[in-house]
Amino acid sequence: MAPRVPPPGRFRQAKIAAPPNTPLPGWLRDRILHLDAELLVLDKPAGLPLSARQGETLEGWLPALRLGKKRLPQPAHRLDTDTAGCLALGRTAPMLARLNALFAARQVGKTYWAVVRGDPGAESGLVEAPLAKVSSAARGWRMQVDAKGDPARSAWRVLGRGGGLSWLELAPETGRTHQLRVHCAHLGCPIVGDSLYGGGEAGGLHLLARGLTLPLEPALHFEAPVPAHMRAAMAGCGG
């Protein structure tokens, strides 16, 4: 089963007993894309869940990410466990509230890169396919296209092709669970490494939260580097 991810801004501080001076490991420090008095932006590694009942999580590292603050930084949005890339955290209550409002109003610019199997057959397009959650004893829970589901829209364009794969830039206009993974599969081009939606298991999920634009004053833009497990496939597509 996928780990339960709490709603934005809802990490339970009382259950984290680590002291404010918890050491920050080098691998995590190297993933800080931006740090100021109110805002922290991380390059979240693939495979690290935001929260889970057991195992290593980002929630467990929040004390180390205080970096002098009394308050824990808290994510203002979500990334799937297996998705790498830009994650914004508020370091103060006012900034967290501001970020939550911007994400809720869909005013944040979000750009993803994915390597998919196959070719979408055009240079760009828009997937408009509502999504609903389903579950079964055999497969657990997953999302699927369903006319009665929640509205979901994803813009896409091809950045490169090669070896039976395509490199896509994706811009979700809504933020449904597993939206880009399901929409790519709906295009007939599942994301490489996506065992749940048809992209195969080898090499990890080839999905990166590449860019994040926050309409603050001034506006801020961040980009996450391509993770190691995606580099070969992207190079084969001209990346």
Which amino acids are annotated catalytic? 80
Which tokens hold the place of 66?
């205080």
CA dist 28 → 24, 43, 123, 179 (Å) = 7, 9, 37, 27
Phi/psi at 29 (nearest 5 deg)?
-60, -40
Give CA–CA dist 27/19, Å, rounded: 20
Q: Rounded to an integer, what distance in angstroms lies between the CA atom of residue 42 and that of residue 163?
A: 32
The helix (run of H) or strand (run of E) holding residue 126 is strand 124-128
- Can you tell me the distance from the alpha carbon of 166 to that of 51, in angstroms, rounded to the nearest whole number? 31
